Each structure stands twice: as C-alpha cells, then as structure tokens.
Amino acid sequence: ARSTRMAVATEEEVAGRVVPLETVRNIGIAAHIDAGKTTTTERILLYTGITHKIGEVHEGTAVMDYMEQERERGITITSAATTCFWRNHQINIIDTPGHVDFTIEVERSMRVLDGAIAVFDAVSGVEPQSETVWRQADRYRVPRICFINKMDRVGADFFRCVDEIRKQLNAVPAVIQLPIGSESNFEGVIDLVNMEEVVWLGDEFGSKYERRPIRDSLKAQAQEWREKLIEAVAESDEKALEKYLEGQEFGVDELRALIRNGTCKIQFVPVLCGSAFKNKGVQTLLDAVVEYLPSPLDVEHVRGVSVDGEKEIYRATSDREPFSALAFKVLTDPFVGTLTFCRVYSGVIRKGDTVLNPTKNIKERIGRLLQMHADERKDIETARSGDIVAIAGLKDTTTGDTLCDVDNPVVLERMVFPEPVISVA
C-alpha cells in the first residue's frame, strides 16, 4: 500500500465509478419526537431491501416471505448512515438525532445532507420542536419534502397540517398528493403531478398499490389542488410564471423538473402524506426522494478556507478534484473499533491512503472503508465525491474535523454560512 496518496484520481478511478453522482441522494429524516421518524426509516429500509434483494415489489408471496424474515431478524437502524437503493438510485440516509438536547449534533448532520424528509404527525401537526429542526435545516439550506404521517389516526387532518407548514414554518407548501379519505378510511392518494389515483390494495403490508384514473367524485378537488400546485411552482420560477399567466398547460416531465428546481430553492416544499405504520405511502415517498431531492451534483461546490484561514477555497463536486471530506460522527463499533463517518465532498480516497487532518494538523491513515447497509457492512476500496463512508482506523479525528489531500489542504468546518441578506433599495 502507498504511504502517501495520489493527489488526484487516476483516469481509471474516474472511469471506475459505478453509481453515477446524479443518482445519489444524501438525505436525513427530521421529525418531532413521536412523529414517526423511526417507523418511516424502517419502512424505507424494508421496501428498498425488498426491491434490492428480490426485485419488483408487486411479487406477492416473495414480499411476504422477505417481510417475515426481516421481522424475525428485526430491522434496526443504529448506524449513523445507512445506504439503500431505490429505482437505480443510491440513497444514503444520515441519522439526524431527534431530541432538542442534541441540537449541535443535529446541526452537524444537517451540514452533510443534500436533502431531507420532514415527517409530521397528521394529528398534532407542526409542533414547537418541528420548528426548531426546520430552522436548522433553513440555516444549512437543506432542501426538503414534507411527509404528513399517521393519516390513519383518529383526528388526522392533512389540510390543517399544510396550513401550519405555510404559517408556522413560512414555507411554500407544494401539495403533490391529496389524501383519499382519512383515519380508518384512508385508502390512497391523488397524485397531482400525474393526475391519477394511487390506491393501496388493502393487504396488511400495503406493499401493493394500483394507479387508477381519478374517480368522478374527486375530480373537482383534484383540479383545484392541481391549480394550487401550478401556482406554487409559478411563484418559484419566472419562466413558469410567464407560462402560467399565459394560461398554458404543463407537461408531466416539465412539472416534475419545475418541482425539483423549486425544492432546491428552500422555501418551496413538496408535501406528501401516508401512514408509515400501515405501510401506506412509503413507496411514493421514496419516488419523491429520487424525483425531487437534489443529488450531490446539484451542489456545485463546497467552500472552505486555507489552513491559516486567510483564503477561500472552492472545491467542485468531482472525483477529479483534490480529496476533501468532513467527519460528522464518530462511533465505536463492537466489531471494527472506531468508525469515523465522513461525507466526501471532492476527490477520491482509497483504503491505505494517508490523508491530512488540517483541523488537528495531523496525518491519518485510512484502515478500511465501509459502506453501512441496514443488515450488513460492506468493505469498499474507494470512496468518491458525494459519498458517505465510514472509515476504520483513524486515531485522532473527531466530529467536525476536515480530512483532505496532504498536498492540497483545505478546512471545511470553518465555512461561514451566508445569512440571508435583505437589501433595501
């Protein structure tokens, strides 16, 4: 093994990327305690595990078998980051602690996210702590989608929640799904982008659903909310506004692209609903993650400073740039020892490399590189820009430290977040 690393990726390494960056999603799930963050995460791992391991979700018996096995094993997510796959996308879920006491840790994890799912309880709506987490996500400019959970509960009120998201969180809710029924009659959603119904087929696990034309009795409501969705989109995009004012129609792909762009603008949030506990709406939530939350490429570059703090340094999100990463969590693993979870911003690192920790002014050697899945950990040879990776073997690196190429030092943590500037003309 090399003792010092190559400063930049070789052509071979650049060509060796298996997962294209535009199909990577680094996301967090943020919620008020009890809103259903754990249940939602578990269901996400369940459905992504099913599709990854046995293919199509609609294969009845295979799904049941798989779910039985999972139940026996008891899926638990204890890791700081978990990787799963959905529709040819790699989704890295980064754990965001849910308690107020961990505010600093929440901020640290916000820092490495490209997007988040904000989970709300359809009965209690926006609660004080949801506001705190929301502000933190604002501060770190994390694009979000909202999942109004627990639609099966007595007292569930989707529209009140949407109203609170607008008023209490100062967001522009772009409702892309309307519930069909609620409480024990919660049977599906109207997909306002495709203008069709998504109806669960009543099996206990909700793993099957069907897309159908919107029934006559719901057409007027669907039309009304489709109009509101287009208005929200038009508000966030000048060209869309022009088109809207001219009374032109929006195609499905165009509308999707506009929602995606809007989501990157922070105030604009797509809103979906479901019941994680009853396995309703989790698959369409995953579709929305892939469809609307940004990839690492949507963040053009990361900004850092030189070690003396004098000079700003920009690093593009690319394997060809010098390596830079931020450690966001250090855990002790019973099998591997110290695991340092890092977000790689630029360049590549390989097992055996020596890297610089400019924050502590020390060199560290990469023992192993690991990707964590719900039920296994996988050794990998190389980690690349945009990746979330667990490094084994680091001795003195702590949460918040930068790791970078020895010959190209940069400090990421001292990054200054621009406060929104309100200019008065």
Q: Binding site for GTP: residue ranges?
A: 31-38, 95-99, 149-152
Residues 407 and 322: beta-carbon distance below 8 Å: yes
Toward ligand GDP, which CB reaches closer, 33 or 218?
A: 33
Q: Could you tell me if 341 and 390 are in contact, meaning their C-beta atoms sit under 8 angstroms apart?
A: yes
Query: Tokens 């294209």 belong to which residue?
Result: 20
Residues whose CB is less than 8 angstroms from the CB of residue 77 and which lie 6 or more positions away in sequence, other chains included? 38, 41, 42, 45, 93, 95, 374
- Rounded Cα gap, residues 84 and 375, in angstroms: 11
Q: Is 153 in the site for ligand GDP (CB under 6 A)?
A: yes
Q: 3-class DSSP state for residue 213?
A: coil
In angstroms and rounded to an integer, the radius of gyration of the C-alpha atoms of the chain is 22
**DSSP structure string for 342-409:** EEEEESEEETT-EEEETTTTEEEE--EEEEE-SS-EEEESEEETT-EEEEE--SS--TT-EEE-TTS-
Given candidates 21, 27, 30, 35, which one binds ligand GDP under the rule CB under 6 A? 35
CA angle 98, 101, 103 (to 5 degrees): 70
* Alpha-carbon 232 to chain mean position: 22
Q: Output the smallest distance, CB 134 to ligand GDP, in A.
A: 15
Least CB distance from residue 274 to ligand GDP, whole Å? 7
Specify the stretch interacting with ligand GDP by CB under 6 A; choose among 138-146, 160-168, 270-278, 300-308: 270-278
In this structure, what is the dihedral angle of CA atoms 253, 296, 90, 395, given to the nearest 10 degrees?
A: -170
Q: How far is the CB of 195 from ligand GDP (least distance, A)?
A: 26
Residues 284-343 touching ligand GDP, rule: CB under 6 A, are: none
Q: Of 118 and 255, which has the nearer Cβ to ligand GDP?
A: 118
Q: Considering only residues 21, 27, 28, 36, which one is a binding residue for ligand GDP as defined by CB under 6 A?
A: 36
Q: Write down the number of H helices and E strands in the chain.
A: 10, 23
Cβ 32 to ligand GDP shortest distance, Å:
7
CB of 425 to ligand GDP, least distance (A): 44
Distance CA 18, CA 15 (A): 8
**Residue indicated by tokens 């030092």:** 409
CA–CA gap between residue 104 and residue 33 (Å, rounded): 17
Rounded least distance, CB 126 to ligand GDP, Å: 14
329 vs 340: CA distance, rounded Å: 6
276 lies in the site for ligand GDP, by CB under 6 A: yes
With CB under 6 A as the contact rule, the residue among 13, 114, 127, 152 that binds ligand GDP is 152
Closer residue to ligand GDP (CB): 30 or 255:
30
The residue (of 127 and 152) whose beta carbon lies closer to ligand GDP is 152
Q: Per CB under 6 A, which of residues 353..392 are in contact with ligand GDP?
A: none
Among 21, 24, 31, 394, binds ligand GDP (CB under 6 A): 31
Residues in CB range of 418: below 8 A, 6 or more apart: none
In the complex with ligand GDP, the residue whose CB is nearer, 34 or 227, is 34
Nearer to ligand GDP, 206 or 322 (CB): 206
Of the candidate spans 70-78, 133-141, 148-156, 362-370, the one that interacts with ligand GDP by CB under 6 A turns out to be 148-156
In terms of CB distance, is 98 or 296 closer to ligand GDP?
A: 98
Quick note: the x/- pattern for ligand GDP over 397-416, rule CB under 6 A, is --------------------
Q: Is 34 in the site for ligand GDP (CB under 6 A)?
A: yes
Q: Which one, 122 or 383, has the nearer CB to ligand GDP?
A: 122
- Secondary structure letter of residue 275 according to DSSP: B
Candidate residues 52, 97, 277, 399; the one interacting with ligand GDP per rule CB under 6 A: 277
Which 86-145 residues touch ligand GDP, going by CB under 6 A? 98
Name the burial class of residue 164, with classes exposed (0-12), middle (13-18) and buried (19+) by CB atoms within 10 angstroms of its CB. Answer: buried
Task: Note the residues at the interface with ligand GDP (CB under 6 A).
Answer: 31, 33-39, 98, 149-150, 152-153, 275-278
